[in-house]
Structure 1
Amino acid sequence: MFSKTCEYAMRAVFYVAQRSHEGSRVGIKEIAEHINSPEPFLAKILQKLSREGLIQSVKGPNGGFYFDAASLNRPLANIVTAVDGDNIFTGCGLGLTYCSESNPCPLHEDFKKVRNQITHMLNHTTIGKFNMGLIKGKFTLNK
């Protein structure tokens, strides 16, 4: 459903948010190790998220990536849109460019229901909501 880039972006965001709760800034190497991501690929993803203002970063020996309290209130949809665009919220289940209400594909009506549920979940679920689950050990990003 999500691109591999988006999957890595969300995992990285969750990991950084968890570590930020502990007052830490984390480097790319640590993040990559904990979310099973290739380091160079992850560096590009985090750079993009930083440019978009979705994650904060500080350069230097005590630098790294982190979240401030306001960023934890952002919806997951912001991450998806920054990395993959808005196609998951508007696109056709078969990937057809001409699919629409007036020219539907065979999956249009059923996929529209699923797409609307995904859109609602991503727009109404904040980064912070999952962060507390990670902190309490309810969720995991790695075995």
Structure 2
Amino acid sequence: MFSKACEYGIRAILCIAAQSPQGTRMVLPEIAKAIGSPVPFTAKILQQLAKSNLVQSNKGPNGGFSIPEKDLERIKLKDLVIAIDGESLFTDCGLGLKTCNEEAPCPIHHTFKPIRTQIIAMLETTSLKSLSEQLETGDTVLKV
């Protein structure tokens, strides 16, 4: 459903979100290791997230990536998906056809449409704060 970059982006921002309330900044190698992603690939993803104002990037000896605590509730999973994968998940045909619509539906159009609606609702309502809290309590994990 998500691209590999988006999957790693979600993992990376959740690692950062889990540390941000304590005022801790995470550095690139630490994030890459935590999410099991190559450092250059992680750097590219974090650059996209910083450009979209979803993470803060600070340079220098005390630098690293962080998210202001006030933004943890504001940032939703949908914001991450759009920043990395664009809006195709929300608009494109489930089979990748260019002409799929209500008048000319693909074979899965009517089955996929309500599922897509549920996915969009979940992405629009799920905040970084709720997900990072689940990580903090040990209810969820990012790496097995």
TM-score normalized by the length of structure 2: 0.96
TM alignment of 1:44-123, pairs within 5 A: 44-73=44-73, 74-123=75-124
User: Which residue does 1:11 correspond to in 2?
Assistant: 11
User: Which residue does 1:133 correspond to in 2?
Assistant: 134
TM alignment of 1:17-56, pairs within 5 A: 17-56=17-56
Partners of 1:55 and 1:71 within 8 A in 2: no
Give the Cα–Cα distance (whole angstroms) in 2 for the partners of residues 36 and 42 of structure 1. 9
What is the CA-CA distance between 1:90 and the residue it aligns to? 1.2
Aligned partner letter, 1:71? D
RMSD over aligned Cα atoms: 0.8
Give the Cα–Cα distance (whole angstroms) in 2 for the partners of residues 137 and 61 of structure 1. 31
Unpaired segments ≥5 residues, structure 2: none
Q: Secondary structure at the match of 2:57?
A: strand
Partners of 2:134 and 2:140 within 8 A in 1: yes
Q: Percent of pairs identical after alignment?
A: 47
Give the Cα–Cα distance (whole angstroms) in 2 for the partners of residues 115 and 5 of structure 1. 20
Superposition misfits of 4+ residues, deviation over 3 angstroms: none
The CA deviation string for residues 23-63 of structure 1, in whole angstroms up to 9 with x for no partner, is 21001100000110111011011011101101111100110
Partners of 2:93 and 2:100 within 8 A in 1: yes
User: Which residue does 1:124 correspond to in 2?
Assistant: 125
Partners of 1:93 and 1:107 within 8 A in 2: yes
Partners of 2:72 and 2:127 within 8 A in 1: yes
Q: Secondary structure at the match of 2:29?
A: helix
